[in-house]
Amino acid sequence: MTNNLHSQEARLQTVLQRITDACTHYGRDAGSVTLLAVSKTRTSDELRAIAAAGVRRFGENYLQEALEKIDALRDLEPEWHFIGPIQSNKTRPIAENFDWVHSVDRLKIAKRLSEQRPDNLPPLNICLQINVSGEQSKSGATLEELLALSRQVATLPRLRLRGLMAIPAHTEDFETQRQAFRLMREALSQLNADGLALDTLSMGMSSDLEAAIAEGATIVRIGTALFGPRHQKNKTPVH
């Protein structure tokens, strides 16, 4: 256990150093990039350990699993980000339990989240997910749909449209990684030129965070590099 804690602490320091180094290299303020710990398949104990090391923001993909952890970790008051695909019959618990949703890709979902966001909570922070590589299998709005969708989502009263999110096609090639993120940066600045005040680019994962930071990422979503290889969903994690 002590060993595990040490290696988790070491992984966290490595990730923070990668972020700092990329910011330095690309002339960005180190405070302009936020680390989101992607905690799908991780146990509440693992989240507690990394929270003790200073991590305050968690990203979850699967609603049921997330709700259990949200309940178990209430005393820590972390910020919870929903980053997985959203079925329209699951919007209410998302609207009620999360601070951010990164994976909104159609108006119907946005409307439901706005209607179902409780009045006693601040507006729900929203990123629109873009299928930036145009992969058939991936969710996300197209760049062509983006302007109209953004204008509509921006009018919904219980949401606060913050920016864009993408999961580009996997590649090891740095320049190819950067190209996809560049499209995201350009899309965000077009929306801002259109009068929307957006401040968030949620992009960059364990294998491409440097390319994302080079192109203006403000939230990097990191799983494997922080927690190690993912647990199988159908196996009981070892304690």
Ligand X SMILES: *Cc1c(COP(=O)(O)O)cnc(C)c1O
Q: Which residues make up the interface to ligand X (CB under 6 A)?
A: 38, 40, 61, 83, 167, 205-207, 221-225
Query: For ligand X, which is the closer residue by CB, 154 or 212?
Result: 212
Burial track 6-19 (b if 16+ CB lie within 10 A, e otherwise) = eebeebbeebbebb
Query: For ligand X, which is the closer residue by CB, 123 or 228?
Result: 228
CB of 209 to ligand X, least distance (A): 8
CB of 232 to ligand X, least distance (A): 14
Query: For ligand X, which is the closer residue by CB, 85 or 115?
Result: 85
57-60 and 219-222 beta bridge pairing: unpaired
Helix, strand, coil share (%) of the chain residues, nearest 5 = 45, 15, 35
CB of 66 to ligand X, least distance (A): 12
Distances (CA, A) of 196 to 164, 187, 190, 192, 200: 12, 12, 9, 5, 12
> HSE of 209 in the Cβ direction (CA atoms, 13 Å)?
26
Comparing CA positions, the residue from 121, 71, 128 lying closest to residue 105 is 128
CB of 167 to ligand X, least distance (A): 5
CB of 195 to ligand X, least distance (A): 28
What is the C-alpha separation between 145 and 160, in angstroms, rounded? 19
CB within 8 Å of 168: residues ≥ 6 apart: 132, 133, 177, 180, 181, 203, 208
Instruction: Please identify the residue of the shown chain whose CB is closest to the bound ligand X.
Output: 223
Query: For ligand X, which is the closer residue by CB, 133 or 207?
Result: 207
What is the C-alpha separation between 76 and 188, in angstroms, rounded? 33
Place of tokens 């350990």: 49
Query: For ligand X, which is the closer residue by CB, 216 or 223?
Result: 223
Query: For ligand X, which is the closer residue by CB, 120 or 234?
Result: 234
CB of 207 to ligand X, least distance (A): 6
Query: For ligand X, which is the closer residue by CB, 40 or 178?
Result: 40
CB of 97 to ligand X, least distance (A): 18
Distance of CA 154 to the CA centre of its chain: 19
